[in-house]
Chain A
Amino acid sequence: MITIYKREVAAFFRSPIAYSVIGFFMVLTGLFFWINNIIIGSTEFSETLSTISLFLIFLAPVITMKLLADEKRNGTEVLLRTSPITVPQIIVGKYLAALTVFSVMIVLSFIYPMIISILGDIPVAMTIGGYIGFFVMGASFLAVGLFTSSLTENQIVAAVSGIVILLCMWFLQSIGASIGGTIGDIFRWVSLLTRYNDFAYGAFSFASLFYYISFTLVMLFVTGMNYERKRWS
Chain B
Amino acid sequence: MIEVKNLTKVYGSIVALDNVSFNVRKGEILGFLGPNGAGKTTAMNIITGYLPSTSGTVLVQGHDIMEEPKEVKRLIGYLPEQPPLYTDMTVREYLNFICDLKGVELRKRKSQLDDIMYLVKIGDMRKRLIKNLSKGYRQRVGLAQALVGDPPVLILDEPTVGLDPKQIIEIRKLIMALGRDHTVILSTHILSEVSAVCSDVIIINKGKIAAAGSVSNFSATIGSSNKFMVHIIGPKNDILKRINGINNIKYVDFLRVDGDVNMFLVESKADIRRELLNEMSKANYPIIELRPVGKTIEDIFLDVVSKDAHVREEK
Contact = CB atoms under 8 A, between A and B. Distances in A.
Interface of A: 2-3, 6-7, 10-11, 14-15, 74-86, 231-232
Interface string B78-113: 101011111111000100011011110000000000
B100 A76 contact: no
B54 to A, nearest CB: 10
Contacts of B87: 74
B144 to A, nearest CB: 13
Nearest to B97: A7
B76 interface: yes
Contacts of A7: 86, 89, 97
B5 interface: no
Contacts of B73: 82-84
Contacts of A77: 84
B5 to A, nearest CB: 21
24 contacts: A3-B100, A3-B101, A7-B86, A7-B97, A10-B93, A11-B88, A11-B89, A15-B88, A79-B80, A82-B50, A82-B73, A82-B76, A82-B78, A83-B73, A84-B69, A84-B70, A84-B71, A84-B73, A84-B101, A84-B102, A84-B103, A86-B70, A231-B52, A232-B52
B51 interface: yes
B80 A74 contact: no
Interface of B: 45, 48-52, 69-71, 73-74, 76, 78, 80, 82-89, 93, 97-98, 100-103, 145
Contacts, number: 67
A231 B100 contact: no
A7 B258 CA distance: 65
B52 A79 contact: no
A77 to B, nearest CB: 8
A231 B145 contact: no
Given A3-B97, A7-B86, A83-B73, A78 B102 contact: no
Contacts of A80: 101
Contacts of A74: 84-87
Contact of B101 (A10, A15, A83, A232): A83
- 4 pairs of A and B residues whose beta carbons are closest in the complex: A79-B84, A75-B82, A3-B100, A76-B84
Which of A3, A76, A78 has the largest count of B CB atoms less than 10 A from its CB? A78
Nearest to B70: A84
A6 B96 CA distance: 11
Contacts of A81: 49-50
Contact of A84 (B74, B82, B97): B74
A133 B93 CA distance: 37
Contacts of A78: 45, 50, 78, 80, 82, 84
Given A15-B88, A79-B80, A83-B102, 7 more contacts: A3-B101, A74-B86, A76-B84, A78-B80, A79-B84, A84-B71, A85-B101
Contact of A75 (B49, B74, B80, B89): B80
A82 B46 CA distance: 10
A10 B89 CA distance: 9
